[in-house]
Amino acid sequence: MGAMQAQGYAEAVAEGAVSLTSAINAHRVSNLFPVPPAYMTTVMVEAVEAMQDEEPSRDIQLPEGVLYKGQTWVYAYEVIEAFRLGAFL
C-alpha cells in the first residue's frame, strides 16, 4: 500500500498539484515506520533532486547532530533506498 501512496504523491508532484517537499513529507508520515523526524524531509528532497540531476553519488549534508556511518553526509542513492523514495524519480 505504501508504494501505491508514494506513486500517487509523485504523480501529484508531476501534475503540479503539490510541491515535492509536501509530497515527500506526506510520504514520510504515511508510509515510513518508525516515522523519520521532520528535519529529514529536507535531506530526502535534496536526494531526490540529486537523482533527478543524475548525480546518485552527490553528498547530501545531514542536519546538525545527525550521523550516518560516522559521517555528517550521505550519498543521495542511500537516502533514496533508506526512505523508499524511488517513486519520486
Is the pLDDT assigned to residue 78 strictly greater than 70? yes
Q: How far is residue 61's CA from residue 53's CA, in Å, rounded to a whole number?
A: 17
pLDDT tens for 54-67 read 999 999 999 999 99
pLDDT of residue 2: 79
Q: Do the beta carbons of residue 6 and residue 88 sit within 8 Å?
A: yes
pLDDT tens for 1-54 read 678 999 999 999 999 999 999 999 999 999 999 999 999 999 999 999 999 999
Tell if the pTM clears 0.85, that is, is over it. yes
Task: For residue 74, count other CB atoms closer than 10 A to its CB.
Answer: 21
pLDDT tens for 4-17 read 999 999 999 999 99
For residue 18, give the 3-state DSSP assignment: coil
Domain ranges for the chain:
2-88
